[in-house]
């Protein structure tokens, strides 16, 4: 319990930190966070990626996504740590920074009732990661199960630019 309270306190203090220090901020992903995230990106093409520190394929994919984000500063990138095991803030932050994703919008599953969190996102999703949702400006969602191919992401982004003209 003490450890958990400490973790909650940590999240709280991170959230309150000034913007300049939030390069690797991990927002606690709780009930309602999904809608909050969607609202804040409404109308803009957004890449949402679910990953976890214990997920083998994620270790390979994360640096590629880091590079993709660097190459496309116009795209909103949202990373959500959604491990099926207790999500570890320290390990998650280290992995994000190593992959060049420390400055992405980073969230960490922070509710023990993961079924409810997942249901809010997609009732058909049982928690497999990696998983990428490409959300178009008009709200259309393309789901990629497993590792995403960067050329597919490039193609999708080009389509978004065409649609926006």
Partner 1 sequence: MLRMSLLATLAFSLCQTTAQAQMSHHQHASEAACEEVELRCASKVTPAFASDGTLWLAWMAGGRISVASSKDLGRSVSTPVQVTQEKLNLDWGPDARPQIVVEKTGGIALAFSIFRDKAFNGQVLATRSIDGGQSFAELQPITANNESLRFAALGLDADGSVFAAWIDKRNRVPAKQEGKKYEGAGVFFASSKDGGASYAEARLASDNTCECCRLGLAFAGPGRPVVVFRNIFEGGVRDHAVMTFTDPATPGEVRRVSNDDWQISACPHHGPSLSISPAGTYHVAWYTSGKARKGLFYARSDDEGRTFSDPLPLGRSDRNPTRPYVLTGPHGTTMVWKEFDGEKTAVNAMISHDEGRSWSKPVTIASTTDTSDHPLLVSDGQATYLSWMTKADGYRLLPIGDGS
Per CB under 8 A, does 110 bind partner 1? yes
Per CB under 8 A, does 145 bind partner 1? yes
Select the span of 33-41, 48-56, 95-103, 152-160 touching partner 1 (CB under 8 A). 48-56
Which positions from 65 to 104 touch partner 1 by CB under 8 A, shown as an x/- string?
Answer: -------------------xxxx-----------------
Residues in the chain: 165
The least distance separating partner 1 from the CB of residue 57, rounded to whole angstroms, comes to 5
Q: Where are the alpha helices (DSSP H) in 25-128?
A: 33-40, 56-71, 89-98, 114-121
Q: Yes or no: say if 69 and 101 are a contact pair by the CB < 8 Å rule.
A: yes
The least distance separating partner 1 from the CB of residue 59, rounded to whole angstroms, comes to 10
Looking up tokens 């491990």 gives 83
Cβ neighbours of 35 (radius 10 Å): 11
What does the alpha-carbon distance between residue 65 and residue 31 come to, in Å, rounded to a whole number?
26
Residues forming contacts to partner 1 in the complex (CB under 8 A) are: 1, 3-5, 7-8, 54-57, 84-87, 109-116, 118-120, 123-131, 145-147
């Amino acid at each position: 319990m003490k450890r958990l309270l400490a973790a909650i306190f940590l999240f709280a203090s991170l959230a309150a930190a000034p913007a300049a220090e939030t390069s690797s901020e991990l927002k606690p992903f709780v009930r309602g966070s999904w809608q909050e995230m969607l609202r804040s990106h409404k109308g803009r093409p957004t890449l949402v990626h679910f990953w976890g520190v214990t997920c083998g394929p994620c270790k390979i994919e994360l640096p590629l996504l880091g590079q993709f984000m660097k190459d496309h500063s116009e795209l909103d990138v949202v990373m959500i740590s959604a491990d099926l095991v207790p999500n570890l803030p320290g390990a998650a932050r280290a992995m994000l920074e190593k992959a060049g994703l420390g400055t992405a919008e980073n969230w960490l599953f922070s509710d023990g009732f993961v079924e409810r969190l997942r249901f809010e996102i997609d009732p058909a999703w049982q928690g497999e990661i990696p998983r990428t949702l490409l959300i178009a400006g008009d709200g259309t969602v393309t789901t990629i199960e497993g590792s995403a191919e960067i050329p597919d992401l490039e193609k999708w982004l080009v389509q978004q630019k065409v649609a926006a003209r």
